[in-house]
């Protein structure tokens, strides 16, 4: 798992950045035209060719989201991304992201005092190439999923997933090799 970095999401600058991203996501959701999809993709640090995103879609900032070529993101996907590179969300090429998937690069401390003092923390989420993440899966901050892997529907991924693996459950555990 990667290092967790604290940040304050309540600064006026970050509130304005989220408001802008949320408005672009809402516009795309209300009217998923090519123009609004193109506008959505301009939020991202990088978006490859032939990427398909089905509305509704949500992200908080977008500037540290990278999506590889030919990736498909199904309906109601949430990428809870960070305004800092340490909380990037990187999705590889040829990935299938199922409906209602959440990739959460931002979280909070479990300890209540630390939660009040530090606010949010972030750690990158990295999805390798040719990964299939099933419907309703949740991938937590700091997790990497290796190339060619499959995450079963409804799984909660709390730890790294080796390449060429099938994982499922809450918390997700390895079921088998591919």
Active site residues: 108
135 Cβ contact list (under 8 Å, min separation 6): 74, 98, 99, 100, 101, 153, 154
């Amino acid at each position: 798992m990667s290092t967790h970095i604290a940040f304050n999401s309540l600064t006026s600058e970050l509130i304005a950045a989220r408001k802008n991203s949320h408005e672009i996501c809402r516009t795309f959701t209300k009217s998923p035209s090519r123009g609004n999809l193109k506008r959505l993709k301009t939020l991202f640090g990088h978006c490859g060719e032939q990427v398909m995103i089905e509305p509704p879609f949500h992200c908080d900032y977008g500037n540290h989201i990278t999506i590889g070529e030919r990736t498909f993101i199904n309906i109601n996907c949430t990428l809870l991304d960070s305004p800092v590179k340490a909380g990037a969300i990187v999705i590889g090429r040829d990935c299938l992201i199922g409906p209602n998937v959440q990739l959460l690069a931002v979280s909070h401390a479990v300890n209540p005092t630390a939660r009040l003092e530090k606010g949010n923390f972030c750690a990158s989420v990295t999805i390798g190439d040719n990964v299939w993440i099933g419907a309703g899966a949740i991938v937590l901050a700091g997790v990497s999923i290796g190339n060619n892997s499959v995450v079963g529907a409804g799984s909660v991924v709390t730890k790294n997933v080796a390449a060429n693996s099938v994982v499922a459950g809450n918390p997700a555990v390895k079921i088998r090799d591919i």
